[in-house]
Chain A
Amino acid sequence: SYVLTQPPSVSVAPGKTATITCGGNTLGGESVHWYQQKPGQAPVVVISYDGDRPSGIPERFSGSNSGNTATLTISGVEDGDEADYYCQVWDTNSDHPVFGGGTKLTVL
């Protein structure tokens, strides 16, 4: 099964830029989706198709994907961005979706 690797935690000061990575073999050839999950809440998609922002998601959220790494970037981090973030792809070999292990973003 396809494996997506995320750092367990990332810390950033308010107003700064947070970068969360997602690694996988030839990941750049797949479409990566990112979810934000705040404590006690269901996940919400913040980036689809590597870099598309769904309606209602602030422009501060952006994504990119190349080589073996996809990146979620949050500019001008706010306290309300503190959450767990998960990347996700469709594993065409096993024909099912796969999630990364998640990254806890802490706003200092």
Chain B
Amino acid sequence: QVQLQESGPGLVRPSETLSLTCTVSGGSLTPYYWSWIRQPPGKGLEWIGYIYFSGNTNYNPSLRGRVTMSVDTSKNQFSLRLNSVTAADTATYYCARDLIEGRTIWFDPWGQGTLVTVSS
């Protein structure tokens, strides 16, 4: 049974870079896509982007330019970097496995999420 676990700092200063890692256990990164999704406190879900095990990426246009994702198949991990953060980036960040068939994608399973607060 595949499980995902996010890790990284819970507090990031404004204008700095948010860095998170998702460790996958119970399964391999291949041949899947893997996403980051965030949820501001009390609000809905926002897809940040996905990365393929080979390294191909696709980012949400609203965040493009600030987002970078990477993958390390040797460690069964993938990572998120979001630069120039502001208070609006305060959210619970989830990693998830993408299931893709044809013209659709859905997410299962998800990590438990990690709250990242942007504050000085």
Contact = CB atoms under 8 A, between A and B. Distances in A.
Interface of B is mostly: strand
Contact-residue size bin, chain B (C-beta under 8 Å from the other chain) = 20 to 34
Contact of B113 (A42, A44, A92): A42
B73 interface: no
A96 B60 contact: yes
A92 B112 contact: no
B44, B101, B103: residue with the most chain A Cβ atoms closer than 10 Å: B44
Interface residues of A, number: 27
A96 B107 CA distance: 13
Contacts of A95: 58
Given A48-B106, A88-B45, 6 more contacts: A1-B61, A45-B107, A90-B103, A96-B47, A97-B107, A98-B47
Interface of B: 35, 44-47, 49, 58, 60-61, 94, 99, 101-113
18 contacts: A31-B102, A31-B104, A33-B106, A35-B45, A42-B112, A42-B113, A43-B107, A44-B108, A44-B109, A44-B110, A86-B44, A88-B45, A89-B104, A90-B104, A95-B58, A96-B58, A99-B47, A102-B44
